[in-house]
Amino acid sequence: MASHKPSLVHPKYKTKYRVGNWSEYERGLRSRGDVTIWFTKEALDAWIPPSRTAVVSGKNTPAGRARDATVLRVRDVGRRRWKKESGYHRQARAENAFFRYKRLLGGALLHG
């Protein structure tokens, strides 16, 4: 008669379920982390700095007015100060966060 050795793993931490279909399991994990973020055109136009040679366009659209205001502000206070005032450096943090999400979710963001 073989003697039975007690398990070294505490019953609380024992595996209760084993995954049989890994592709379905991973799809479920990806859908659980679904993130949708919408940016308005005005926010993007004001957030992305105008080129150094930018001029006021005079367009009477919300995006045009936001861009013109940004061009004038950069001209008034300088590029470096505008970036601090507008929180432009947060863009790098946002891009880094999206990079992490893409790495975590793989192609799920691309194939929606």
Classify 98 as helix, strand or coil: helix
Q: Looking at residue 35, what is its pLDDT?
A: 60
- Computed over its alpha carbons, how large is the radius of gyration of the chain? 26
List, in order, residues 6 or more apart from 71 with CB less than 8 Å away.
50, 54, 55, 56
Q: Looking at residue 77, what is its pLDDT?
A: 93
- Cα 46 to Cα 12, 50, 86, 87: the distances in Å are 54, 9, 9, 11
Give the pLDDT of the chain (112 residues) as one tens digit per residue.
566 777 787 877 776 767 778 788 777 777 776 666 666 766 665 566 778 888 888 888 877 888 888 889 999 999 889 888 877 777 777 777 777 777 777 665 555 5
Residue ranges per structural domain of the chain: 40-111
Instruction: Look at residues 100, 71, 98 and name the one whose alpha carbon lies nearest to residue 86.
Output: 71
